[in-house]
Structure 1
Amino acid sequence: MVVPLDERSETGEIAGVGPLVELVTPGMERVNAFILSRTGSDVAMIPEVANHLINSGGKRLRPMLTLATAALSGYSGDGDVKLAASVEFMHTATLLHDDVVDGSEMRRGKLAARMLWGNEASVLVGDFLLGQAFKMMVEVGSLEALRILADAAAVIAEGEVMQLAAAKNTATTEDDYLAVVRGKTAALFAAACEVGPVIANRPKAEQAAARSYGMNLGIAFQLVDDALDYGGREAKLGKKVGDDFREGKITLPVVLAYRRGSEDERAFWKRTLEEGKIEDGDLPEAIRLLAKHGAIDATLERARHYGAMARDALALFQDRPQAKPLLDVVGFVTARAH
C-alpha cells in the first residue's frame, strides 16, 4: 500500500510524523504567522501567487526539521522560527521556479501558479520569496546560519542546472543522478537541520551530525518520490502519475532500468525520453519495464540505505528525548511506498 506523506489522520496530523508535529506545534504556529505576514506586498499579484502555493496544503517538513533540531540542541529564542520560515520560503520559491522549468500543470493537487498567472509572474514571485527569506535570515543575526542557507541556495540552483543538463539524457549514470539529488533536494534538508544547532552554539560535531541527518534524509525522500511517480496514487501525489516520464526526466528508476535493459528496451527509453515521442500506451510500458528489472524496488532499497545513514547520524543525540521524533520521520519517509 502506498502511504503518501500528506495523508492525515482523523485528528489532522500527518500520518507517521505525529511525534514531530507535537514537538514543533507551538513553533509552527509562529512560523505560519510569519509566513503570512511576510507575503504581504502593495503589488497585489505577489500575495495572490505566493499564497496560492503556500496555502495549498504543503507538508512544511523542512521548517519542522529546523524547529526540531533547534529543540534537540536546547535552543531558546525566536531565531529558529525566523529561520524555519526562511527555509519554507526558499522551498516555495524553488517550487515556483521548478514548475516553470518543467512546464508542470499541477502542484499539490491544484493548478500550478504558472497555469493561472503565467511563467513570468511565477518566476518573479519566487524571487520575491527568496528576498524575503534572506531578510529574515539577516534578522536572526547569525552569520553562520546565513552562510549555511546562502550556500544551500547556490547549491540548489546548481542542482537545478545539473538536472536540466541530465534531462532527456539516457547516458546519465547513478552517480550523476545522485549528485543532482544532493543539490536540488537534499541541500535544503541539510541546511534546515544544521542551522538549529548552529544558533544554539552547539559543538561542531553536533552541527555536522545534524547536517548529515538532513542530507541523508533528503536523499531518501527524493528517491522515494522518484519511485512514487511511477507507482503512487494520483489523488495523493498531488500531480499526475508519470509526470517525470512525460517531462522527459531521467530519475533513478529509469537509470537502473535503462542499464539493465535490452537494446530494444533502451531504444524505447531513447524514443520516449530523449526524443519526446510518447505514444498512447508508453507510460504503462515504462512501468512494466521498471517492474521487469526491479528498478522501483532497487530505488526504494537505496532510499532505505540513506535512511539508515540518517539514523546513524542521530546516534550522537540518542540520550535526548527530542531525537525520537526525528528518528520516526526517517522510518516514515522510507516507508511511504510500502
Structure 2
Amino acid sequence: MNIPMATKPHDRLAAALNSDLEAVDGLIRARMHSDNAPRIPEVTAHLVEAGGKRLRPMLTLAAARLCGYDGAHHLKLAATVEFIHTATLLHDDVVDESEKRRGRPTANLLWDNKSSVLVGDYLFSRSFQLMVETGSLRVLDILANASATIAEGEVLQMTAATDLNTGEDVYLKIVRGKTAALFSAATEVGGVISDAPEDKVQALFAYGDALGIAFQIADDLLDYQGDSGATGKNVGDDFRERKLTLPVIKAVAQATPEEHAFWQRTIEKGRQEDGDLEHALSLMAKYDTLNATRTDAESWAAKAQAALAPLPDHELRAMLHDLAAYVVSRLS
C-alpha cells in the first residue's frame, strides 16, 4: 500500500526533528567551508544539497531524543554521520564510474575523479574532528569502526560482485559493510551520547543494522523494478555495472547450464549485448527472484521493528517503527 506523501515516515520524522535538523544543516555548511580550496564546498554542496532525505543524521537525532538527551553533541554526531555518508558517495561514484546520483550528474562527471576523491577525504577528516569534539571515546570507536567497515564492504563488493560463486551469505556481509554499518552506528551513538542503559543502546544498534539491510535490499530491488524518475537511477544500472546483487544471486543459484553461461558472459566477463538486460529480467521472472528479494527486505524490516521493543514508548519510536515499513513500501 502506498503511503500518502504528507504522511511518509521520514517526512514526519523530519518535522518532529525540524529545529535539530536546521542546526545540523548549519553545522554542515560551516564545516564543509574551506578558505584555501573553494572547490571543496562547491563539490560538497552539489551532493549535500541535492535533495537527500538526511535519513542517517535523522536516525542519530531521533535515537538521542528518544533516550532523553538534551545536550548539543547529538548535532555534531548527526553532521558526522552525514559527512561520512557523503564522502562514501563521492568515492563510490568514482569507483562505479557513475554519471547520475539523485537524478543529477555526479560530482566526478561535473568536475573530475581527483576532485571527488580528495573532497571525500576532506569530509572524512572533518567527520573525525566533529566526533572528537564530543569527548566520547566510545563514540569515536563506534564511528571509526563504521568507517573502516564501510571501506571493507566496498572492497569486498568490488572483489565478489562479478564472481558467480558469490552467495547470499557474502552478499549479506557486503550489505552489512557498505550500508548497514553506518545506519547502526548512527542509531547506536545517539544512545551512547545520551548515557542510555546498555540494553537500549544495543536495541538501537540492532534497529539500525536491520533497517540498513532492509534499505539496501530494497534499493537493489528498485534497480530492476523502480521508476528512474523517482529513484534518480537508470533501471538496470547494477546489471550494466556487473554488480551481483540479491535478485541476480537468487537467479544464478537456480540457473540451468545455458543460463549460467549467460550470467558468466554478462556479469563475470562483462560482454554485454543489446537485449541482455531484458533477458536477465526474464530469468529473474522465471525464478520469481524479485518477489523473493522483496520477502527478504520485508523480513529485515520486521526485525528492525521488533528491535525497538526495549525503547521508551514515544512518538519518535512510533515513527522509527513506521520508517522500517516505509523502506519496503517503496517497492509498491
TM-score by length of 1: 0.95
Instruction: Give 5+ residue unaligned stretches, structure 2.
Output: none
From 5, 12, 16, the counterpart of 1:19: 12
Q: Does 1:67 align with 2:61?
A: yes
> Distance between the aligned counterparts of 2:209 and 2:258, measured in 1?
37
Q: Does 1:300 align with 2:294?
A: yes
Q: Secondary structure in 2 aligned to 1:77?
A: coil
Q: 1:186-239 CA distances to partner (integer Å, 9 max, x unpaired)?
A: 000000000111011011111111000000000000000010000000111111
Identify which range, 81-90 or 16-25, moves more after superposition: 16-25
2:309 corresponding residue in structure 1: 315
Q: Does 1:209 align with 2:203?
A: yes
Amino acid of the residue matched to residue 244 of structure 2? I
Q: 1:310-330 CA distances to partner (integer Å, 9 max, x unpaired)?
A: 111101125233210110101
Q: 1:2-26 CA distances to partner (integer Å, 9 max, x unpaired)?
A: 88xxxx93xxx68343331222111
Instruction: Summarize the alignment of residues 29-44 of structure 1 with structure 2, pairs less than 5 Å apart.
Output: 29-42=22-35, 43-44=37-38
> Distance between the aligned counterparts of 2:7 and 2:42, measured in 1?
26
Amino acid of the residue matched to residue 318 of structure 2? K
Contact 1:21-1:64 within 8 A present in 2 as well = yes
TM-score by length of 2: 0.97
From 143, 148, 152, the counterpart of 1:149: 143
How many residue pairs match? The answer is 331
1:266 corresponding residue in structure 2: 260
Q: Secondary structure in 2 aligned to 1:316?
A: coil
Amino acid of the residue matched to residue 184 of structure 1? K
Instruction: Give 5+ residue unaligned stretches, structure 1.
Output: none
Amino acid of the residue matched to residue 265 of structure 1? E
Q: CA deviation at 1:32?
A: 0.8
Contact 1:227-1:299 within 8 A present in 2 as well = yes
1:51 corresponding residue in structure 2: 45
Identify which range, 86-95 or 20-29, moves more after superposition: 20-29
Q: CA deviation at 1:308?
A: 1.0
From 179, 185, 192, the counterpart of 1:191: 185
Contact 1:2-1:233 within 8 A present in 2 as well = no
Amino acid of the residue matched to residue 20 of structure 2? G
Contact 2:157-2:174 within 8 A present in 1 as well = yes
Instruction: Summarize the alignment of residues 1-338 of structure 1 with structure 2, pairs less than 5 Å apart.
Output: 9=5, 15-42=8-35, 43-317=37-311, 319-338=313-332
Contact 2:67-2:312 within 8 A present in 1 as well = no
Change (3 A) 1:2 1:165: farther
> Distance between the aligned counterparts of 1:164 and 1:17, measured in 2?
31
Q: CA deviation at 1:332?
A: 0.4
Q: Secondary structure in 1 aligned to 2:292?
A: helix
Q: CA deviation at 1:265?
A: 1.1
> Distance between the aligned counterparts of 1:2 and 1:230, measured in 2?
19
**Deviation beyond 2 Å, 4+ runs, structure 1:** 13-19, 318-322
> Distance between the aligned counterparts of 1:121 and 1:18, measured in 2?
33
Q: CA deviation at 1:57?
A: 0.8
Change (3 A) 1:14 1:101: farther
> Distance between the aligned counterparts of 2:317 and 2:121, measured in 1?
35
> Distance between the aligned counterparts of 2:160 and 2:262, measured in 1?
18
Q: Secondary structure in 1 aligned to 2:315?
A: coil
> Distance between the aligned counterparts of 2:215 and 2:307, measured in 1?
16
Q: 1:122-159 CA distances to partner (integer Å, 9 max, x unpaired)?
A: 00000000111111111111111111101100100111
Q: Secondary structure in 2 aligned to 1:322?
A: helix
What's the RMSD between the two structures over aligned residues?
1.4
Amino acid of the residue matched to residue 192 of structure 2? V
> Distance between the aligned counterparts of 2:189 and 2:7, measured in 1?
24
